[in-house]
Structure 1
Amino acid sequence: MTVTRASVSHRRGTRVDFLESLRGPRAPWEEVVSAAQDAALAREVALTSSVTIREVDPVSGRDRQKACDVPGAATLTPDVLAEVRRPVSYHGMRNYIGRMALPSVDREAHAGWFESRNEQETYRDLLLTRPITQMTTQPLRLEWPFASGVRTHVPDALYVTVDGVVTLLDVTRRARLDSAEAHAVFVLAQATATALGWRYELRGELSAQHPQVMTDLSSE
C-alpha cells in the first residue's frame, strides 16, 4: 500500500521543520560572504559540507533523517527524498503557497510545495519545457562548515531529466541578489551542486516571454 501524505500547510504561524536543529554557533555572515567571493575557498567549503535528508520508503511511506557527506549524497534522487520542511499559512499572509503535482517514477500521487507565485510559475515552466522524470521540493538541507560555525540552506527543488542529469534548483526574486548574504548562499549552493556532480540552476521571476535564468554565480 502506498501512503499519501497530507497536502495541507501548517496553520499555527510557524514553518514546520522536520529535521533536528543543528547545535552550535552560526558562522557570521562576513565569513560566509568572504568564502563565497573566493572560488577556491567556496569549493573547499562545498567539498566538506554535509547534506541532511529525510529518506523515504516509497511503499510504506516511513522516513528517517539521514546525514550524508558529499560522496554519499551524490547518488540521491528526488524519489527517495521526503520534504525537510513545510511552509506555513496564516491569516493576512502576503505570499501564496500551495501544492502541485510533480512527476515521479516510484511514488503515486506525488506532489510538492511552492512558497510563492514565482515558484509556482517556475515549476510549471520547467514541467512544460523540460523532460523531467522525477521532481521534489524542499528536498534537503545543505550544511556548510566554517572556522567559527556553520551555515545552512534548503534549496527549493531537486529534479532529474530523462538523460539522468540531476539539477538542484533555487528560485528567487532578482532584487535579492543585491544582498551580499543571499548572493553568497546561492554561490555556495552552486559550488556544492558541482561537488555533488549535479547541475545548479538559479531562477528569477519569469518575464512575459521566458524565464530569467541566473545560473553562473562564480567569482572566477
Structure 2
Amino acid sequence: MSGVTARCGELWSDRCGLAGLCTQWAGFDGARGSLALADGWTGRWRAQWRASDASVLCAVRDLASIPTSRCEPVRRFSWRRGQRHRPGLQFMVSTGRHHGFESIAEQRLLLAVDFAGGVSDVLGQPFRLRFATGSGWREHIPDFLAVAAEGGLLIDVRPGERIGDDDRVCFTAAREAALAAGWRYLVVTGWRPHVQTSLDTLSAQRRPLRDPLGLQSELFAAVASGPRSFGDLVAATRLPAVARAHALHLIWHRRLGIDLSTPINDATKVWASPAGAGR
C-alpha cells in the first residue's frame, strides 16, 4: 500500500485475519499426553451432530464429510431468569443471518469472525466430541465451527484466567480432531488492545449502504496519492458528516485500511487497500 510501512505491533485492518485480532491459548503440548492417540484413534473417537432433529454419529476421521449446511446446534441455546451468562443472537453480514451465542465473549467472537470475512456459514455448538484419555472417555462441545472456502475453523472461546485443567484436555482433544479433519483450531482468550472498540465502531456501518451522492468515489480519490487522517479524509468530500458513515463502511469491507491497534478517531491514518483486498 502506497505510503504505508508496517511497524511492530501494528494491525492492518485490510490484511488481518481472526488469529491476528485475538489472543489465544496455546498450551496444547502440555495436555496432549493425557489423550489416547494410539493407532486408529480417529476411528474410535466419535462426533455426534444434529440434523433435521435427528442425531448423526460419525468417526472423527469423517468429520469433514458432514454437510454442515444441514446441521443445527447439538445443544440448544437457553434463556431463563437468573442465569449467569447472557445468550442472544448476532447478525453476520458474511452469512446474511443471525447466529446464536451463549455469552458476551461469544458475541464478540462472532463479530470478529464477521469482520475477518471469508466464511459462508457459522455453526454454534456444532457437535459433541467423544474422545479417549488415559483415564477414560470424555466429551466436549466446541463453541463454533466457521465454514470457509479454504476449510473449517473450529473455535472455543474462554477467558485465559478461566481455563482449568479439564479445559486444557478438552481443548487439546478438539485440536487433534480438527487437525484430523483438515481444519484449523483456535482457543480465543481475548482481544488485542483496541480491537473490540474498533470493531464495534466499524460494525455500525457494515450492512449494505446506498451511495446516491457518490461519496465513496470521493473518498477513494482523496487517498489515491497516499494515506490521510480520517478527519482530513471526510473533510475532503462534499458532505463530511455523511462521508463518515461511508468511510467506516469501506473500512469494514476492507476497501480502505486503518491500524486497528490504536483507537479510531480523526487522527487515524486511512489508506486505500490493495486491489483484491476488499469484499
Cα deviation, residue 100, structure 1: 2.1
124 and 41 in structure 1: CA distance in 2 versus 1, 3 angstrom threshold = same
Larger radius of gyration: 2
95 and 172 in structure 1: CA distance in 2 versus 1, 3 angstrom threshold = same
The answer as to 2:154 corresponding to 1:168 is: yes
In the alignment, what sits opposite 1:15?
none
Cα deviation, residue 93, structure 1: 2.6
Give, in whole Å, the separation in 2 of the partners of 1:45 and 1:89.
40
Give, in whole Å, the separation in 2 of the partners of 1:169 and 1:46.
22
The answer as to 2:179 corresponding to 1:184 is: no
Cα deviation, residue 119, structure 1: 0.6
Match of 1:132 among 106, 109, 119: 119
TM superposition outliers: structure 1 runs of 4+ over 4 Å: 39-46
202 and 167 in structure 1: CA distance in 2 versus 1, 3 angstrom threshold = same
40 and 49 in structure 1: CA distance in 2 versus 1, 3 angstrom threshold = closer
Q: Which runs of 5+ in 2 are unaligned?
A: 1-27, 197-279
93 and 63 in structure 1: CA distance in 2 versus 1, 3 angstrom threshold = closer
In the alignment, what sits opposite 1:30?
none
In the alignment, what sits opposite 2:69?
79
Give, in whole Å, the separation in 2 of the partners of 1:43 and 1:96.
40
Q: Is contact 1:43-1:192 (8 Å) kept?
A: no
* Residue identity (%): 25
Match of 1:204 among 176, 189, 195: 189
86 and 66 in structure 1: CA distance in 2 versus 1, 3 angstrom threshold = same
Aligned ranges 1:55-94 → 2 under 5 Å: 55=51, 62-94=52-84
Give, in whole Å, the separation in 2 of the partners of 1:44 and 1:35.
20
Q: Which runs of 5+ in 1 are unaligned?
A: 1-32, 56-61, 212-220
Q: Is contact 1:84-1:141 (8 Å) kept?
A: yes
Give, in whole Å, the separation in 2 of the partners of 1:38 and 1:196.
20
137 and 129 in structure 1: CA distance in 2 versus 1, 3 angstrom threshold = same
Give, in whole Å, the separation in 2 of the partners of 1:150 and 1:40.
10
Q: TM-score, normalised by structure 1?
A: 0.66
The answer as to 2:47 corresponding to 1:51 is: yes
Match of 1:152 among 129, 133, 139: 139
The answer as to 2:94 corresponding to 1:101 is: no
User: Which of the two has greater helix per residue?
Assistant: 2
In the alignment, what sits opposite 2:33?
38
Once the two structures are superposed, what CA deviation does each residue of 1:70-106 show, in whole Å capped at 9, x if it has no partner? 23222225312111112332223332110123455xx
Give, in whole Å, the separation in 2 of the partners of 1:135 and 1:40.
28
User: Which of the two has greater strand per residue?
Assistant: 1
Number of positions where the alignment pairs a residue of Structure 1 with one of Structure 2: 167
In the alignment, what sits opposite 2:21?
none
